[in-house]
Amino acid sequence: MSLEVKEKTQVRLVFLGAAGVGKTALIQRFLQDKFEPKHRRTVEEMHSREYDVGGIKVTVEILDTSGSYSFPAMRKLSIQNSDAFALVYAIDDPESLEAVKSLRDEILEIKEDKYTPIVVVGNKADRQQQRQVSSEAALSAVEMDWNHSHVEASAKENANVVEVFKELLQQVNLPCRLSPALRRRRETFPKDDGFRPPMNKTNSCIVS
């Protein structure tokens, strides 16, 4: 009797950004659908979930990092070992967007690949009265100048949180990480539900 072998693949997503921008809140909202209003300092936490994608077991690891810059070696290791990055800023904190710019430079330097999957997330979109970062300016800088995706989200109101993770996984392009034998089964992968296709990158994986 032959046993069906379930193939596995693994993807690691890392959330980076200044302290207090809501990295942990976004992850908690996605994984547990809850929101803790009180800020809790994070050093580093790894969350792992297994999903069935067209009969293929996909392990998605989500790394929640410290907003403190007192752990540069830990941050460098996190970047080296991850596949896609959510760079989070708060729309009421322009300095946090500057931190995102520095983190992006660091990622591109460490990964040595300007096409590294990156999604820039403007969190705390519920704070429109306190907004200090123009959504138009941020969108223009991120998508036109950097060629990354930009999403505004609110962990508090659960707005666009799932979209952040879908965009990250879409950019990682899961079928391309599988063996050639599995690529023929690509039609079993979920179809995009109206999500914007990833931007045209010269090294994008095309499954024939």
**Tokens representing residue 181 in the block:** 């034998």
Domain housing 144: 8-188
Torsion-angle region of residue 112: left (phi > 0), alpha (psi -120 to 50) or beta?
left
**What integer pLDDT is reported at residue 207 of this predicted model?**
33
Alpha-carbon gap, residue 1 to 32, rounded angstroms: 40
Cα dihedral angle (147, 148, 152, 156), rounded to 10 degrees?
Answer: -170
**What integer pLDDT is reported at residue 43 of this predicted model?**
67
Q: Residue 208: inside a domain, yes or no? A: no
**Tokens representing residue 42 in the block:** 């994070």
**What integer pLDDT is reported at residue 38 of this predicted model?**
77
Q: Residue 206: inside a domain, yes or no? A: no
CATH number at residue 98: 3.40.50.300
Q: Residue 198: inside a domain, yes or no? A: no
Secondary structure (DSSP) of 190-202: PPP-SPPPPP--T
**What integer pLDDT is reported at residue 7 of this predicted model?**
52
Q: Residue 23: inside a domain, yes or no? A: yes
**What integer pLDDT is reported at residue 135 of this predicted model?**
92
Q: Residue 207: inside a domain, yes or no? A: no
Q: Residue 118: inside a domain, yes or no? A: yes
Give the helix ranges, DSSP H, for 48-154.
72-80, 94-111, 135-139
Q: Residue 107: inside a domain, yes or no? A: yes
CA distances for 99 relative to 57, 75, 103, 206, angstroms? 35, 14, 6, 33
Determine how β-strand 84-90 pairs with β-strand 118-123: parallel
DSSP 176: G
**Tokens representing residue 105 in the block:** 């430079």
* 164 in Cβ contact with 48 (< 8 Å): no
Mean pLDDT score across all residues of the chain: 81
**What integer pLDDT is reported at residue 134 of this predicted model?**
94
| Angle separating helix axes 72-80 and 94-111, nearest 10 degrees | 60
Positions in the chain whose pLDDT score sits under 70: 1-8, 39, 42-43, 53-54, 68-71, 174-208
Q: What is the pTM of this model?
A: 0.78
Which of 161, 174, 164, 193 has its CA nearest to residue 51?
Answer: 174
Q: Residue 1: inside a domain, yes or no? A: no
Return the biggest CA–CA distance within the chain: 65
**Secondary structure, 3-state, 3-58:** CCCCCEEEEEEEEEECCCCCHHHHHHHHHHCCCCCCCCCCCEEEEEEEEEECCEEE
Place of tokens 């009265």: 129
